Chain A
Amino acid sequence: MARVYDKPQTTGEALTHVAATPVRVLFRLLDYPMSAIQRLLGIGGMPWLFLLPNLVFFGMFVVIPLFLNFAYSLTGGTALFLSDRPFVEGEQYGFLFDCENYADPLSCREDRFWKGIFNTAIFIFFQVSFMVLFSLITALVLNREIRGRGFWRAVFFFPVLLSPVVVALIWKWILLRDGILNAFLVSIGLERILFFVSPDWAMFWAVFVSIWAHMGFYMLILLAGLQAIQPDLYEAAEMDGTSKERVFFRITLPLLWPNMLVVIVLALIKGVQVFDEVYVLTGGGPGTATQFIVQYIYNTAFTNQVQNFGLASAASMVLGGVLFVLTLTQLAATRRRDNA
């Protein structure tokens, strides 16, 4: 416990120390009532006490809405309040799943829902793998003995600060027919490319821009993991004459695994939720090539003149179910390497 009260050593820590003082005072004020409660409940009741505030908020703003959402998915019409909405049983789900062939979105009555799911799956596959790859490479490069590491870290982290809308706008201007990138292509003797008219390019840039915007964050997590690896491990390996590849696969990667897991899970979460960035960048186009599932749900509930909360809720329940299963499988698959 002594380390908490160590004298702060750097200016950063000193400032943090000052900034944290009110919080510390608050925590200390709670010492007495909390001890009293502990005497009352016994240690077995304490976890619930710690969980209580989060559970209250979670219940109010996540659990109740989820149940409401399920209720909505069983109703039709355009009324906002559930009591005004006619009960339609599983009709909304039936509508979503009314397909002749599930592999072909065009054979479905609600083709856009299925296109949204396919597009999202493709997007996530590329986005998450390249996100992990590039944040790893960047973290490894920044982990070398380079001058001004703080500056470089900031360079790669900086786009994380920008709002998704701004990120998309900046890139949109770069990529337009007469944008800087096309000006560059023409100047080196290539043809212009209408990026937003080609489905493949549109998907490529959706993935690229989202990696550009978020990579810094994941890079920071990985870099922290790399820096925590004891140098003597490397030195020992070097003395043994172990090859670089072996060091990387036998020492660096395994020790980095918990951080990698966090990165993969977070990147997946962000990937599934992707919406405003791509919406501003490509508008979901061309056609429906980059229209993702969240955009479909949002359009159904809000953008269309007939605000179809029932169908949107049904779609989001389906999405939620799929994600739940995916998350569990993923965690189960990674569990043996996770020390949880």
Chain B
Amino acid sequence: MPDTAQSSHAVWHVLTARRGQGKLHWTDIFTYLYLGFGLFLMFAPVVWLVLSSFKTPAGLQEFPPTLLPLGQVSVAVEGHAEPLLLFDVTMEDGSVRQLAQIRRVGITAQMIDPANPEERLQVPIATREPVREFRMALENYRDPLERFNFMRYLWNTVVVTFAATLVTLLINSMAAYGLSIYEFRGRNAIMLFVIGTLMIPITVILVPVYLVVTNLGMINSLWAVILPGAATPTGVFLLRQYMLTIPRDLIEAARMDKASEWQIYWRVVMPLAMPAVAVLAIFSIMWRWNEFLWPLIVLNRSEVYTLQVGLNSFQGELDVQWHYILAMTVVTLIPVVIVFGFLQRFITTGIASSGMK
């Protein structure tokens, strides 16, 4: 089977090649095809989210869905106080006319020609198609922003995300430093505990954590959202794995220079661990920005709501106001995208310059 052998070789070529070969080989085309498909697969759903957020509730429920948000065109017709909705009607002879609808009775519609208001026609409703144009339902954005204290939710979320990420980075990196640089009695026991709790999702111990938080009197304060998730085993594990790769000679050299342990931590080890810290920072920001179940239990006053709680307050028992949820989702994405646009540059240059190993 020479064919398969050859193509598998070609695939390896794509997967392993690092330098361009000067001229355009077909594996380069494969790379760009992969990238193009990736672009479509990754972005199209999100573009669709943004487009959908501009649709009216009726437009959102429409199947098959239209790509762009559309609204039906209405025209003012002489003799009618309200503007009438415009339809394309297929007449019996097969011609298509644009008519405005006066009213619908059962399966027939009374239509009128806007150009010739004298003439009234009865047409079966199956023969008419609404005339539509591109129209964005900006009220999806305007209403919630006016009616809800959106800026307050945003502010709360920013406070929570920042404070929690700072606390997480600080205490996790200190712990990782302690666990990776020193040999001491009890280290293995602590590592075992960190690893053991690594996989336990907070979802399954919500009730006991709630009791602890209640006893600390933190219910309905932002601290209740900031502190419980701060000592992440994932963070300690991630940073420790990374710090283990830092050469011991550097630390010994610093000790020779009479640097204190604290100075070694923040002047030597932390700068070298920056890539891992950045990874944890992204993780932490994403966790906190999108956290929903925990805030839902500890926060029930609107002045301390985070965005996710505020956003989901459009979810009712029997009906969900999707148009608001989508619009507000897009709004909550904007700050993250901006922050990421900045962070991503830094992370990748940081990783590239210091090297992940």
Any chain A CB within 8 A of the CB of B46?
A: yes
Q: Which residues of B sit under 8 angstroms from A35, Cβ to Cβ?
A: 260, 262-263
Residues of A within 8 A of B230 (CB): 57, 61
Cα(A117)–Cα(B14), bound, Å: 39
The answer to whether B175 touches A51 (Cβ under 8 A) is: yes
Q: Tell whether, in the assembled complex, residue B351 and residue A265 are in contact, meaning their CB atoms are under 8 Å apart.
A: no
> Is B207 in contact with chain A by the CB < 8 A criterion?
yes
Interface of A is mostly: helix
Q: How far is the CB of B235 from chain A (nearest CB, A)?
A: 9
A-side contacts of B209, CB under 8 Å: 61, 65
Chain B residue with the shortest CB-CB distance to A143: B18
- Summarize B's interface: helix, strand, loop or mixed: helix
CB-CB < 8 A to A179: which residues of B? 63, 65
A16–B343 alpha-carbon span in the complex (Å): 9
* Band of interface residues on B: 35 or more
Residue pairs across A and B with CB atoms within 8 Å: the count is 322
B43 touches A158 (CB 8 A): yes
Nearest CB in chain B to that of A247: its residue: B16
Q: Are A10 and B208 in contact (CB under 8 A)?
A: no
CB-contact partner of B204 in A61, A245, A319, A328, under 8 A:
A319
Q: Which of B26-47 contact A (CB under 8 A)?
A: 28, 31-32, 34-35, 38-39, 41-43, 45-46
Q: From B290, which residue of chain A is reached at the shortest CB distance?
A: A163
What are the residues of chain A within 8 A of B248 when measuring CB–CB?
Answer: none
User: Which B residues are CB-close (under 8 A) to A313?
Assistant: 207-208
- Find out whether the CB atom of B346 lies under 8 angstroms from the CB atom of A252: no
Contact B207 A80 (CB under 8 A): yes
Known A-B contacts A137-B15, A166-B329; A161 and B64 likewise in contact (beta carbons under 8 Å): no
User: Which among A98-106, A107-115, A270-278 touches the partner chain?
Assistant: A270-278
Q: Write out the residue numbers on chain B whose beta carbons fall within 8 Å of the beta carbon of A301.
A: 206-207
A155 and B345 in contact, given A47-B184, A72-B207 (Cβ under 8 angstroms): no
Within 8 A of B (CB), among A20-77: 24, 27, 30-31, 34-35, 38, 43-44, 46-51, 53-55, 57-58, 60-66, 68-69, 72
Complex CA–CA separation, A231 to B293 (angstroms): 46
On chain A, the residues within 8 Å of B229 by CB distance are: 61
Stretch with Cβ within 8 A of A (4 or more), from B69-77, B83-91, B112-120, B267-275: B267-275
Contacts of B227 in A (CB 8 A): 57, 60-61
Task: Report yes or no: A150 in contact with B20, Cβ–Cβ below 8 A.
Answer: no
Q: Which of chain B's residues 198-232 have a Cβ closer than 8 Å to chain A? A: 198-201, 203-209, 211-212, 216, 227-231
Given that A51-B190, A171-B45, A275-B203 are contacting pairs, would A34 and B356 also be in contact in the complex, using a CB cutoff of 8 Å? no
Decide if A297 touches B41 in the complex (CB within 8 Å).
no
Chain A residues whose C-beta falls within 8 Å of the C-beta of B263 in the assembled complex: 31, 35
B182 at the interface (CB under 8 A from A): yes
Decide yes or no: A161 and B340 within 8 Å by CB, A34-B262, A38-B260, A258-B241 being known contacts.
yes
Once the chains bind, are B355 and A178 in contact (CB under 8 Å)?
Answer: no
In the complex, the chain A residue whose C-beta lies closest to that of B35 is A152
Question: Which one of A81, A297, A331 lies within 8 Å of B203 (CB-CB)?
Answer: A297
Residues of B151-197 contacting chain A, CB below 8 A: 170-172, 174-175, 177-179, 181-182, 184, 187, 190, 193, 195-197
By a CB distance below 8 angstroms, the chain A residues around B19 are 145, 231, 234
List A contacts of B196 (CB < 8 A). 320, 323-324, 327-328
**Which residues of B lie under 8 Å from residue A272 when comparing CB positions?**
199, 201
Interface string of A102-143 (1 = CB under 8 A from B): 000000000000000000000000000000000001101101
Q: Is B138 an interface residue (CB 8 A)?
A: no
**Could you tell me if B234 and A269 are in contact, using CB atoms closer than 8 angstroms?**
yes
* Contacting pair A266 B234 (CB below 8 A): yes
> B46 and A162: CB pair below 8 A?
yes
Q: Which of A87-95, A195-203, A217-225, A281-289 contacts B (4 or more CB under 8 A)?
A: A217-225
Residues in A whose Cβ lies below 8 Å from that of B237: 265
Shortest beta-carbon distance, A83 to chain B, in Å? 11
CA distance A122 to B134 in the complex (A): 45
**Nearest-CB residue, chain A, relative to B312:** A165
Does B351 lie within 8 Å of A65, measured CB to CB? no
Residues of B contacting A255 with CB < 8 Å?
Answer: 357
Cβ A212 vs Cβ B262 within 8 A: no
- Contact indicator B262/A174 (Cβ below 8 Å): no
Q: Which chain B residues have a beta carbon within 8 Å of chain A's beta carbons?
A: 9, 12-20, 28, 31-32, 34-35, 38-39, 41-43, 45-46, 48-49, 52, 63-65, 170-172, 174-175, 177-179, 181-182, 184, 187, 190, 193, 195-201, 203-209, 211-212, 216, 227-231, 233-234, 236-238, 241, 244-245, 254, 257, 259-263, 265-268, 271, 275, 279, 282-283, 286, 289-290, 292-293, 308, 312, 329, 332-333, 336-337, 340-342, 344-353, 355-357
Of the A-B pairs whose beta carbons lie under 8 Å apart in the complex, a sample of 13, sorted by A's number, is A4-B271, A34-B261, A51-B179, A53-B175, A57-B231, A145-B20, A163-B292, A244-B13, A252-B16, A268-B199, A298-B204, A313-B208, A328-B195
**Interface contacts beyond A53-B171, A220-B279, A258-B245: sample of 11 additional A-B pairs, CB < 8 Å, sorted by A:** A12-B350, A24-B266, A30-B262, A34-B260, A44-B184, A47-B178, A53-B174, A154-B340, A163-B289, A212-B41, A331-B195
